[in-house]
Structure 1
Amino acid sequence: MVYQGPSRGCNSCRQRRKKCDGTRPSCMRCIKAGRVCGGWEHAASLHLRQYKAQNANVSAPFVSIARKCGMPKRVPHPVTGILPEDKLPSEISREASNTFALRAFFYNYCFISANPNLSRGYLSRLEPLALRLGPESELVKACEAVAFGGHGKPLNRPALVQFAEGLHQESLSSFAQNMEAGASTNRMEYKMIAMLLGLYQITMCSDEDYGNHITHAKGLAALMKISASPFALFGKDIGLFAVPAFRDSDTTLDSLLFSLEALWTRLESPQSSLDFPALAEALVALETYFSVWQKRRIPEVKATSVTTIALRYDSNEHPVGYWPGSVDTYIDLYVAGVWNVFRAARLLLGHLLMKFTSTIYDQDSNRNTTSTTYRLVEDIFASIPYHLTDNLPAFVDGMRTSEQIQPGKHLGGLLLMHPLYVVANLSSLGPEVRRYARRCLEWIGENHGLGQATLLARRSDLDREYLSSGLMLIWSGFAM
């Protein structure tokens, strides 16, 4: 989200006078060489200052204020066992704290695609709009509520969580009053606020109070004039997962997902009314379309393996991020997220194939479906370090000496939750695979403050409305 200037080289490649491929957040040249990528920010900021000095009368490009901001985790004193007082550092004012929270939100949840042909970004229009509306706007307060809540929980700072709830109530009350007063529902600001209020509930979700996000999903759907379903986002000319790199004439991932949803709905009808041969034929045909779509993707949006984690024969409980096999990287979290949406959908399709076509499937076909299922799961697991770590090259460099993954952007955990939930509850998979998916969900809940991830790890009985409304809120961020 920072101005990139005419050179797309990262700082490390520029210093070494090497050609950089421009992959973000870490370039592939640095990853393959085992170096920590220096990133772009410092060079970009320096170039921007020079640009402004030389072109005082030219309007400056947008520069993000997003930064990784945080406080130390509140832990008991090693000798006395007493927790320190839960308060802001004396040198930090409340105004400054709010600013840090806003910057942290932009860092954790927003990014602008460097190439619209390959990626849509996520909440890419939010930061410019929030900065224009100012610190007292409902939109900014909603962002700060999510940031304080999402950081306060992992840091064991209930004061931040309590402050987050105050901001949430203030934003919710003002939003409701504006809706009652007939505010223009076409304004992107209000759609973003509705989405953020839902994201706040996903963050603060608990076993006792876990369905509040459903109301916000319905409110967002009303503002967008669609039904309260994630699949409704495929209409309205949004093309949610159909940027040019993911589009293939009339076959888009959007259309494949819509077809899968339609088949799933038909299969939920009373069995006496089902035409099983016709449904089996439709399922097999759809599986072929999914397979062809995957093969036809251009190399630029496919996963790139950066290393391999060796099998640890003495461990039945692989640490989060250390599942044996490939570790993959992507050009950004949108692309990684699209691939895991595809994988989760194809896993569900494989489940339906095994369940409803067993009478016409031969043994070889069943083996092929099982093999495809495990390959898809391995690909999801290979994406986990990219989604969850703060610095993938540093993770790769430290794999031999550490089994701890350093938490990265919360968006990575948010996009990974539902694919992991599919894996954790797929009966055809082995117990070790399903346990690992649940441990990853627990990790996301604990380290990214996403309460819904913790709930997904512990519950397998969540109804369709609950899961669909959560997906709708998450996926809507691609459209804003």
Structure 2
Amino acid sequence: MSIARKCSLPVRQPVTGSNILPADGRPIEVSEEKSDEYALRAFFYEYNLVSSHQATSRGFLRGLERAFYRHGPHSNLARACRLVASATYGIKLCRPFFLRQADQMYHDLLSSLAISIDDLTSVSMRDESILVAILLGLYEIIITDESCPGYHNAHAAGVAAMLRVKNTPLDLLQALRNDQSFVSKRLLQTNTRGLFAIPQANGDETPLDNLLFQLGTLWKRTTQLDILPHNVLSTLRSEALYLDESFSLWENTQNKYFRPSTIYCMSSNEKSDYTSIDVGYWPGNIDTYVDHYIAGVWNTYRAARLVLLDIILKLSHALKCGTSHDAEHKSAQQLVKSILASIPYSLTEDLHIFLRDIEINQSIANPGRAACGLLLMHTIHVTANLSIVDPAVRTYLNECLIWIGKHMGIGQAAYLATNAEVDPEYFAGSCMIVLFGLLV
């Protein structure tokens, strides 16, 4: 049975009728030992996503609680869990005390991790070091702000080195496609289904991991279209169109049970001003999913295909094609609508309560778990920076990122909202931390 429990502390707000914030600190009736216990419980509530469909869903950090029991409450792993919880709640509850506490724990853990890595003589120590490094990378993502973009990439590189893979999403996908045997089979979930896998109606189609790998290699070849000769551009466009057909086939062959289900339609007159729509209230369908991992797979597909459609349009423009692009724009609009429809599911603690109170609340009253915002963050950032997406939608998506940063405790989300052109290695390192979380 999981020890996960939601933190019951309220958001720290000014005293009624003033701008004065109440004193910040650990409640005097709570001992340090109890505080550590509560932090562990809160961490597993926020970040340990375990599906009831474990045969088909990876979840997120699914095996971490078992690892915690193996290593014990006084281990570096337990300290890293408390670190992440303290940082998350320091942001989402506006409690600087927790952030100061997390900062001290972080520097202590860096020293301990360095010692552990120098002496990886046992499987247990190596496994713990990998998990601690993932959580330190997650901590850096959480505390990111304009003054400190974070050093998550250093931790992603450390994890990649310990797993003996290169520190890029493409190389990790390649390792999984090649059925690479990672250093720890006990630590990581089986990779036979890939990172992004939903049971298909029939199992003959190309896995999404393979399509993402193909897209990544295609994208790298199209970063400088202005210097490519006409015949190369034409070949790339043909490859892109063929790949888009494969993406479409992937969508059409998914098992009906694991598809999104529409449970509500927000009419446009409920929130009619598109320039100031509250997060979660975009007009249109609201969908639900089997679980948050499945939602993440669908949104990864959508964002990837939008990138591909954007590439197709840029190649067509470079070739001065006179053909109509209505089909590409229509597909893009549907993909964007599906992403928008998934946002309330990911950002609310209970979608049914959100819908029950939708006419009386002006905003999401109960934010969802931090891991759900984390799984949505990269999809939203990618989509918000594509020219094929309507500007009003892009503005709204960036507002969602800012909201995730403030209300779900993922600081990097807000940073990405205001920094469209982040360094590719910076963004890739952030993706790697999340991908490692899917593997655990």
Tell me which of 317, 320, 328 is aligned to 2:279: 320
Which position in structure 2 is the counterpart of 1:122? Answer: 60
* Aligned residues of 2:205 and 2:250 also touching (Cα < 8 A): no
Q: Is 1:294 aligned with 2:251?
A: yes
Amino acid at match of 1:296: T
Equivalents in 2 of 1:169, 1:340: separation in Å? 35
Which position in structure 2 is the counterpart of 1:218? Answer: 157
Displacement of 1:131 in angstroms is: 2.3
Displacement of 1:423 in angstroms is: 2.0
- Which deviates more from structure 2 when the two are superposed, residues 119-128 or residues 294-303? 119-128
Secondary structure of the corresponding residue to residue 280 of structure 2: coil
Displacement of 1:450 in angstroms is: 0.9
Amino acid at match of 1:241: F
Q: Is 1:266 aligned with 2:217?
A: no
Displacement of 1:246 in angstroms is: 8.8
Q: Is 1:76 aligned with 2:31?
A: no
Tell me which of 379, 396, 400 is aligned to 1:436: 396
Secondary structure of the corresponding residue to residue 248 of structure 1: coil
* Aligned residues of 1:445 and 1:451 also touching (Cα < 8 A): yes
Which position in structure 2 is the counterpart of 1:305? Answer: 262
- Which deviates more from structure 2 when the two are superposed, residues 81-90 or residues 133-142? 81-90
Amino acid at match of 1:212: Y
Tell me which of 79, 96, 113 is aligned to 1:158: 96
Secondary structure of the corresponding residue to residue 57 of structure 2: coil
Which position in structure 2 is the counterpart of 1:52? Answer: none
Amino acid at match of 2:99: V
Q: Deviations over 1:269-323 (max 9, x none)?
A: 5754551111111000000000000000001110001111010364221110010
Secondary structure of the corresponding residue to residue 281 of structure 2: coil
Which position in structure 2 is the counterpart of 1:231? Answer: 170
Equivalents in 2 of 1:397, 1:183: separation in Å? 55
Which position in structure 2 is the counterpart of 1:104? Answer: 42
* Aligned residues of 1:247 and 1:253 also touching (Cα < 8 A): no
Tell me: CA distance 1:233–1:246, structure 2 relative to 1, closer, same or farther (3 Å): farther
Tell me: CA distance 1:321–1:270, structure 2 relative to 1, closer, same or farther (3 Å): closer
Cα RMSD after superposing both structures = 1.8
Amino acid at match of 1:373: A
* Aligned residues of 2:225 and 2:315 also touching (Cα < 8 A): no
Note the 1:85-100 alignment, pairs <5 A: 85-100=23-38
Amino acid at match of 2:265: T
* Aligned residues of 1:70 and 1:151 also touching (Cα < 8 A): no
Secondary structure of the corresponding residue to residue 286 of structure 2: strand
Which position in structure 1 is the counterpart of 2:236? Answer: 279
Secondary structure of the corresponding residue to residue 221 of structure 2: helix
Which position in structure 1 is the counterpart of 2:182? Answer: none
Tell me which of 363, 377, 383 is aligned to 1:404: 363
Amino acid at match of 1:173: S
Tell me: CA distance 1:458–1:183, structure 2 relative to 1, closer, same or farther (3 Å): farther
Amino acid at match of 1:67: R
Secondary structure of the corresponding residue to residue 84 of structure 1: coil
Which position in structure 1 is the counterpart of 2:414? Answer: 454
Equivalents in 1 of 2:332, 2:203: separation in Å? 24
Tell me: CA distance 1:247–1:216, structure 2 relative to 1, closer, same or farther (3 Å): farther
Equivalents in 2 of 1:309, 1:180: separation in Å? 56
Which position in structure 2 is the counterpart of 1:394? Answer: 353
Tell me: CA distance 1:126–1:321, structure 2 relative to 1, closer, same or farther (3 Å): same
Q: Deviations over 1:75-113 (max 9, x none)?
A: 221234322111222211111111111111111111223
Which position in structure 1 is the counterpart of 2:84? Answer: 146
How many aligned residue pairs are there? 417
Tell me: CA distance 1:465–1:439, structure 2 relative to 1, closer, same or farther (3 Å): same
Unaligned runs of 5+ in 2: 180-190
- Which deviates more from structure 2 when the two are superposed, residues 335-344 or residues 80-89? 80-89
Equivalents in 2 of 1:88, 1:247: separation in Å? 54
Unaligned runs of 5+ in 1: 1-62
Which position in structure 2 is the counterpart of 1:252? Answer: 207
Equivalents in 2 of 1:296, 1:257: separation in Å? 17
Larger RCO (CA within 8 A; separation ≥ 6): 2
Equivalents in 1 of 2:18, 2:38: separation in Å? 31
Equivalents in 1 of 2:395, 2:146: separation in Å? 20
Which position in structure 1 is the counterpart of 2:187? Answer: none
Equivalents in 1 of 2:336, 2:155: separation in Å? 31
Displacement of 1:249 in angstroms is: 2.8
Amino acid at match of 1:85: A
Equivalents in 2 of 1:362, 1:291: separation in Å? 24
Displacement of 1:268 in angstroms is: 2.5
Which position in structure 1 is the counterpart of 2:338? Answer: 379
- Which deviates more from structure 2 when the two are superposed, residues 272-281 or residues 440-449? 272-281
Equivalents in 1 of 2:155, 2:52: separation in Å? 30
Displacement of 1:421 in angstroms is: 0.6
Q: Deviations over 1:321-358 (max 9, x none)?
A: 01000110001111000001100100100100000123
Tell me which of 148, 164, 168 is aligned to 1:209: 148
Tell me which of 114, 117, 138 is aligned to 1:179: 117
* Aligned residues of 1:74 and 1:155 also touching (Cα < 8 A): yes
Amino acid at match of 1:388: L
* Aligned residues of 2:336 and 2:389 also touching (Cα < 8 A): no
Secondary structure of the corresponding residue to residue 326 of structure 1: strand
Q: Deviations over 1:55-80 (max 9, x none)?
A: xxxxxxxx101111131222221234
Secondary structure of the corresponding residue to residue 264 of structure 1: helix
